[in-house]
Amino acid sequence: MPMELFQRLCQLVTLYLFMVLPAGVMARQQLPPSFKGYYVMPYNDENGLPSNDVTGFFEDLKGYCWFTTQFGLIKFDGRDFRHFYTGNVPSLTSDRLYSLNAVSQDKVFFADESAGVHVIDSNGAILPVPGLKARHNFLMSQHGYILDLRKYFASKEDSTRIITEVRASKHYLPMHEFYSDANGAAWFVSGHDISWFKDGYFSPVDYYDLEDRAHFYIQNTLFAIDSIGGIRVYQHGKKTAITLSLQKILPAFAGKKHIDLNQLRFCSDRSGTFLQCNNKLYALQFDGQTVTASLLLKDLPLPLARHICYSERYKLYFFLTSTNGFYIIREQPFVVRSYKEGMENSFAATLEIQPGQVFTSNGLLFSKDTVQRVYNYNLQVFNTMLKDRDQHIWFMGGDTLFCMNNQLQEQKRWLVKDTHLKSLQQDDKGTIWLCTNNGLARIDSGRLKVLYADYTPLDRSQCMFFLNDTCIWIGTTVGLFAYNKRTNSLTAIPEMAKNYVRHIYRAKDSSVWIGTYGQGFYTYRNGRFIALPQDRNHNLATAHCFMEDDNGFFWIPTNKGLFQASKASLEAWVRNNELQVYYHYYDKNDGFGTNEFNGGSSPVGIRLQDGRFSLPSMKGLVWFDPRLVKPILPVQAIHIDKIMEDAREISYQDKLVFRAGSNKMSFRISSPFFGNSDNFFPEYRIAGVDKLWAPVPADNTIVINFLPPGNYALEVRLRSGFGAHDYTSATLPFFITPHFYETVAFRLLLLLMLILLITAGIYSLHKQKAKKAKERELYLEQQVQQRTQEQAITVQQLEHTVGELKVSQESLHQSNLLKDKLTSVILHDIRSPLRFMNMLSNQLHNALIAGNNQSLTSLTAELKKSSDQLDTFTKEFLIWLTTQQEGFRMRYEHVYVKELFQEAETFFRNVLNWNKNSLEMEITADISAWTDKQLLKIILHNLVDNANKHTENGQISLKGYLDASDRLVIKVADTGEGMTYTELQVLQSRLEDEKNLFATDSTGNLGYRIVRDFVAQLKGHIAVESIFQKGTTVTIVFPPGPDH
């Protein structure tokens, strides 16, 4: 317990010292690092910066970087700029902004050109600060210092005196040049002098005319440089006796009597004090007597900066400029060793022949700082090398296999004709094996012995691997083969057929890993080849080799960069393939000459004795120490920067609520990350709705459409480590308001209404029952009276029933008579055409025997017409029967009467000719009727047929016209036998009586019955005139159509 208290006390003391010690002391204790290799990332108007004139920088607690520019304020998360200006921050009075200054990291101040002061709070909100005015009562320095003068304005005289000083013309820069300490005192540097401010009073200390060029600040000490390199030192409001010079601090200025201060840039802020000169960056430190300069960066390809800052969080240097935007400098953990340009700089197999000396397959020898050619490249072309247990170096040159010592002195050679060496390996027993394009061989007792020769499978071999004592795997471009030492046979492994196998590696735990060219990588477990998942962009399709470090990671070079993967996470995926594997990506920005590494050699990558790795690429050898490479992971918190509801931006305090009927909700997320963008891939899901995680779109905006009302939670996560569950995550609960009809209140109201309805129904039912009981009582009282009346009614009903039975009996009798009559009439009407057809058949038979083709043609035509007439009769009869049924509907249309007359003349031509009758028509072409064409046609055909049946060697006429009332009048007249007066009277009475079933002519023909019924359907009138032995005239009159 005492030990725990002691540790807790130490933590509190450390925290206290961190908070109260001056920034300069902390900076001195934590000297910014020196980068041997680095990458410069420019940011300007070409990649999103709204202005190239950057005036201020600040890194907030959440990890965002803020910049003031001549066109607004910028929030930068390492990938995207968010721009704030007068267009979206109404309180800004100008877009020209200056400086970013903070009292603490949760409150950052900046000023605009109109002296307005704004603050950025801990939530990133930009708010105006009433009562503060820049260059008046609130001073800000480009070095990050703030001086609030309001507390010194005790009287009008004090405020006038102080404001007169700060507004003096000697302070001609947009922001004052000053450095303040923790007690509120400050050093002011102007175009005329150096002043000390304390307790509301300015005291001139020394003359100075280089306001914005050559001064810096360390540990509450001000340093001013003059043009001859002298450095004046000021402390506690006074000039000290300490004498320093740039010539002593930097050897590059030794011996110079005049120094061009325009070629130097001193920058001091809470991250350190820096000097940029001669394309170098130095960190300046002060020990109380002497200033020392430590080289941080050399060969800087940058102009002099306006300001320089260092981010301890991200290990980055920021260079702000007034014309080129800003630059970020990041350390490159990888080093490229190269020789010349072109193919001589493309490497394959390498060996460390002695500590720190790397021999390459194209004849180069790399040492610590030098490289030299030891073999002629044109003569020594080989892609496989071997360093055996005795430190001998093996390689093949031309058709000769060489064995050298580690001084590259030849020990022995073997002639290997007509072949190309593909792989050299040494087994556990020390035997050297050779895999060539046409055979497998080994060195036995100093002699080369060919064990297997078969050109076809070995022609495209790539690597050789000792699986066990009896089996050797040979990887080829067409698959993986197994060579059996005992049987001297080569067998293709079907599971790896058509895979381009280039590399096989046995890990420290004896697991086997296989790299291919185009098919990803595999592991071999218990006789199974398991394909591992690839990265999102499928760059791991070309896995050249597996470099295993001491921290449990695989380093896998590919054609598209280098990947770092946790071997433990790969093993976890093999056990459970629902887990995800994280592959950390490195590209040429981390120090490579190119993203394309080389593979297919033996070996591919090597581990040097000092622990560094060496990987061949198309542009040099990439060397790095895996122990020193720190992957940059997205470990900062995830934030929701902007929320949109349909087209409206919304904000919230405690809980996010969307309105009822919201169709589209969008969330823009961000998380500060200054690493490789390929390692930043956020995912999201709606808890309770989505089971799987979906990638956040490239614009970092999540769009959700048409969610029903209710409570939800947006979950966002980022990979923050190599473990299966290493994520940075954020959850945003939100609520979608239901419409009133979707609320619980509405449902309760419905329930209440339902209860009221049920209650009302029960009451109504009870009332109805009472009413029915009373009605029943009245009903019983009336029963006696009703019984008497019912008896009388029963008698009447019996009498009526007897009458109806008599009527029904008569109707049945008449119906039977109608059926009999119809049968006889139908037989009568079809007898003539059948007799005619029989006659035609006899004539056809005779003509067929006689072979009279002309008669056959004529007779068959007549036969067809007769059959058509018979068919027409049956159709018309069926139509008439249909009209007698309920539900029959007329089909009215405009009908030209002349066309019907012409159709009738054509239809009856043969029958008329048979009776030697002629047909005359009298009608104008434009007479039309609004009627049912089919019924009118049947009426016309029946009248013509009746006239023809009763006329021989006579004349039949058709006449149509409109009378004075626009009624259609049709007359059908014949010169036939006519009817007697009695027959005519009977027919007319039957036609006028619609209930009469027997409206036939004197011969019993059914035609008049059909005509009468159809005319009645068409709301017309029929009249018959006849003179015995002179003929008959039938007149039909139809009412005018709807147009009249």
Residue 385 has pLDDT above 50, yes or no: yes
- By three-state DSSP, how is residue 735 classified? strand
Last residue of a domain, one of 327, 347, 382: 327
Alpha-carbon distance of 281 to 317, in angstroms, equals 10
| 442 in Cβ contact with 431 (< 8 Å) | yes
Q: Which of 1036, 1026, 1023 is nearest to 1003 (CA)?
A: 1026
**Is 614 in the same domain as 723?**
no
Look at 5-9, 61-65, 181-185, 710-714 and tell me which has the smallest mean pLDDT: 5-9
**822 belongs to a structural domain:** no
**Is 583 in the same domain as 644?**
no
Which CATH number belongs to the domain containing residue 704 in this structure?
2.60.40.10
**Is 870 in the same domain as 944?**
yes
**770 belongs to a structural domain:** no
**Is 563 in the same domain as 711?**
no
**Is 726 in the same domain as 864?**
no
Alpha-carbon distance of 131 to 117, in angstroms, equals 9
Residue 3's pLDDT band, with cuts at 50, 70 and 90, is: very low
Per-residue three-class SS string for 180-195 = ECCCCCEEEECCCEEE
Q: What is the mean pLDDT of residues 738-753?
A: 86
Residue 330's pLDDT band, with cuts at 50, 70 and 90, is: very high
Both tokens of 204, joined, read 């001139």
Residue 5 has pLDDT above 50, yes or no: no
pLDDT at 813: 65
| 679 in Cβ contact with 632 (< 8 Å) | yes
pLDDT at 815: 54
**780 belongs to a structural domain:** no
pLDDT at 105: 67
pLDDT at 74: 96
Q: What is the mean pLDDT of residues 355-376?
A: 90
Last residue of a domain, one of 309, 327, 345: 327
pLDDT at 336: 95
**468 belongs to a structural domain:** no
pLDDT at 996: 56
Residue 899's pLDDT band, with cuts at 50, 70 and 90, is: confident
pLDDT at 1018: 85
Q: Which residues contact 666 (CB under 8 A, 6 or more apart)?
A: 642, 643, 644, 701, 702, 703, 704
Considering Cα of 429, then 431, then 435, then 439, what sign does the dihedral take?
Answer: negative
Tens of pLDDT, residue by residue over 917-939, are 999 999 877 888 888 888 888 88
Q: What is the mean pLDDT of residues 721-728?
A: 93
Q: What is the mean pLDDT of residues 175-196?
A: 89
**Is 218 in the same domain as 309?**
yes
Tens of pLDDT, residue by residue over 604-661, are 999 999 999 999 999 999 999 999 999 999 999 999 999 999 989 998 888 899 999 8
**348 belongs to a structural domain:** no
Alpha-carbon distance of 716 to 670, in angstroms, equals 10
Residue 887 has pLDDT above 50, yes or no: yes
**830 belongs to a structural domain:** no
pLDDT at 22: 40
**341 belongs to a structural domain:** no
Q: What is the mean pLDDT of residues 681-693?
A: 93
Look at 9-13, 144-148, 286-290 and tell me which has the smallest mean pLDDT: 9-13
pLDDT at 24: 38
Tell me: cis bond preceding 603? Omega within 30 of 0 counts: yes
Residue 13's pLDDT band, with cuts at 50, 70 and 90, is: very low
DSSP 651-703: --SSSEEEPTT--EEEEEEE----S-GGG---EEEETTT-SS-EEPPTTSEEE
**Is 551 in the same domain as 617?**
yes
Look at 31-35, 58-62, 779-783 and tell me which has the smallest mean pLDDT: 779-783
**760 belongs to a structural domain:** no
**Is 605 in the same domain as 662?**
no
**Is 41 in the same domain as 21?**
no
pLDDT at 15: 38
Residue 365 has pLDDT above 70, yes or no: yes
**Is 621 in the same domain as 706?**
no
Tens of pLDDT, residue by residue over 392-447, are 999 887 788 999 999 999 999 998 876 788 889 999 999 999 988 778 999 988 89
**What are the φ/ψ torsions at residue 486 (nearest 5 degrees)?**
-70, -40
pLDDT at 821: 47
Residue 957 has pLDDT above 60, yes or no: yes
Last residue of a domain, one of 600, 627, 654: 627
Residue 683 has pLDDT above 80, yes or no: yes
**Is 40 in the same domain as 4?**
no
What burial letters (b/e) apply to 486-513, b meaning 16+ CB within 10 Å? eeeebeebeebeebbbbbbbeeeeeebb
Residue 863 has pLDDT above 80, yes or no: no
Return the biggest CA–CA distance within the chain: 163
Residue 812's pLDDT band, with cuts at 50, 70 and 90, is: low
Q: Which residues contact 764 (CB under 8 A, 6 or more apart)?
A: none
Q: In which domain, by residue range, is 109 found?
A: 31-327
**Is 711 in the same domain as 618?**
no
